[in-house]
Amino acid sequence: MPAHARFTDLVVQHLDAGYNLARWLARDADDAQDVVQDACMRALKYADSLQGNDARAWFLTIVRHAFYDWCRRNRPSEIAHDDGAAIDAAIANPALGPEPSAIRGAETRALSEALAQLPLQFREVIVLRELEELSYKQIAKVVDIPVGTVMSRLSRARALLQHSPLLHAIRGQSFGGES
Partner 1 sequence: MNCNEAAALVAAHADGEIDRLRGHSLTKHLRGCAQCAEKHEAVLALRRRLHAEVEYHLAPPALKQRVVSALAAAEPSFALKAPPPVSRWQWMGAGALAGCAATVFAWIIGTALIDARARDDLAAEATVAHVRATLGNHLVEVASSDQHTVKPWLSARLDYSPPVRDMAASGFTLVGGRLDYLGGQHVATLVYRYRDHMVDVFVRPRTAVSPDLGLRTLRGFNVARASGVAFDWVAVSDVSADVLAPFVETLAKEQ
Return the residues of window 49-88 that contact partner 1 according to CB under 8 A: none
Q: What DSSP designation does 103 have?
A: -
Minimum distance, C-beta of residue 133 to partner 1, in the bound complex (Å): 9
User: Where are any strands of DSSP class E within the chain?
Assistant: none
Smallest CA-to-CA distance from 43 within 8, 74, 84, 81 is with 8
DSSP string, 133-156: ---HHHHHHHHTS-HHHHHHHHHH
Query: 83-118 burial by CB neighbour count: b if 16+ within 10 A, else e?
Result: eeebbeebeeeeeebeeeeeeeeeeeebeeebbebb
Alpha carbons 98 and 26: distance in angstroms, whole number: 25
User: Taking CB under 8 A as the rule, does residue 143 contact partner 1?
Assistant: no
User: Taking CB under 8 A as the rule, does residue 18 contact partner 1?
Assistant: yes
User: Taking CB under 8 A as the rule, does residue 1 contact partner 1?
Assistant: yes
| Among 4, 6, 72, 75, contact with partner 1 (rule: CB under 8 A) | 4
Q: Which stretch binds partner 1 (CB under 8 A): 50-58, 59-67, 85-93, 123-131?
A: 123-131
User: Taking CB under 8 A as the rule, does residue 12 contact partner 1?
Assistant: yes
User: Taking CB under 8 A as the rule, does residue 155 contact partner 1?
Assistant: yes
Residue ranges that bind partner 1, judged by CB under 8 A: 1, 4, 7-8, 11-12, 15-16, 18-20, 23-24, 29, 32-33, 36-38, 40-41, 44-45, 107-108, 111-112, 115, 126, 129-131, 135-136, 151, 154-155, 158, 161-162, 170-173, 175-176, 179
